[in-house]
Amino acid sequence: MSTVFPPAPVATVPVAGRSERFPVHRIYCVGRNYEEHAREMGFTGREPPFFFMKPADAVLPVEAGQTGRLPYPSLTGNLHHEIELVVAIGKGGRAIAAANALEHVFGYAVGLDMTRRDLQNDMKKQGRPWCIGKGFDHSAPIGPITPAAQAGDVAQAAIWLQVNGQDRQRSTVAQLIWNIAETIEHLSAAWELQPGDLIYTGTPEGVGAVVRGDVLEGGVDGLGTLRLQVV
C-alpha cells in the first residue's frame, strides 16, 4: 500500500521487565469514578459510568526510573492533575461480562489524566464536548505497564500523588465506584474493545492545579511510580 505521506508512528508504552512495548489503540477514560472526587466536583450518588476519550497519541510514556517532561499546555491557567490506575487491554471483545472481564486485561499502569480544568468547566456550562479540556497533546502521561500476573492485588492497592513532595491525592483502588471488571463490562457494551486499548479508570479526591517547574510523583502499589516535571 502506498500512502500520500508516511503514516504517523504508533504510540507505544514501555512494559515492565520486557523489551517489547505496548502499542496503543485507543484511550478511554471514566468520569467521576471515586465518590469523594464526584463530591468535590459537585455531584453525589452512584450514577452509571460515563466515558470520554483522548487521542492515542496523547500518551506521554515515561520509562522506568526516568522523570518525564510534561509541556504546560496552551490556552489554560488551571492545569489539573488526576492520578489514575490505567488498565491495558490485551484481548479485545464486545459485550464482555464482568465475570470474564479480567481475562481481557494485559496489565496495569500508573497514569495521569491531565485536565485543562478551566476549559472543561466552560464546556460543561455550555453543554459542549470536553475534548479541549481533556484530549490535548501530552494529556495522558503513563508509566510502564506491569503485566497482570506480576501486578499483585491491584483492586486493593493504594493510589497516591505528590506534588513537590507534598501529598495531594491518596486513596485506594478499592474506593472505585465501578470496579475494573464492571468498567470493562460497561465500556465493551458501547465499543468493541481492541488489544492496545488503555482505560484510565478515574481519579480519587484531591485534584488540583500544577504550574511550570512542579514535580509530580504518583503511584499505585505494585505498579511502581510515575514521575514528571511540568516544563
> Which spans of this chain sit near Mn ion (rule: CB under 5 A)?
82, 113, 203
Q: Which residue is nearest to Mn ion (CB)?
A: 113
Q: How far is the CB of 137 from Mn ion (least distance, A)?
A: 17
Instruction: Categorise residue 186: left if φ over 0, alpha if ψ from -120 to 50, beta otherwise.
Output: alpha
What secondary structure letter does DSSP report for 124?
H
Q: How far is the CB of 75 from Mn ion (least distance, A)?
A: 19
Pick between residue 54 and residue 104 the one whose CB is nearest to Mn ion: 54
In DSSP terms, 56 is beta-bridged to: none
Kindly state the cell numbers that stand for 38.
Answer: 464526584
For the four alpha carbons of 164, 60, 27 and 52, in that order, the dihedral sign comes to: positive
Q: How far is the CB of 227 from Mn ion (least distance, A)?
A: 19
Rg of the chain over all Cα atoms, to the nearest angstrom = 17
What secondary structure letter does DSSP report for 9?
P
Q: How far is the CB of 198 from Mn ion (least distance, A)?
A: 13
Pick between residue 53 and residue 148 the one whose CB is nearest to Mn ion: 53
Q: Of 29, 28, 30, 10, whose CA–CA distance to 20 is shortest?
A: 10
Pick between residue 139 and residue 203 the one whose CB is nearest to Mn ion: 203
Pick between residue 15 and residue 80 the one whose CB is nearest to Mn ion: 80
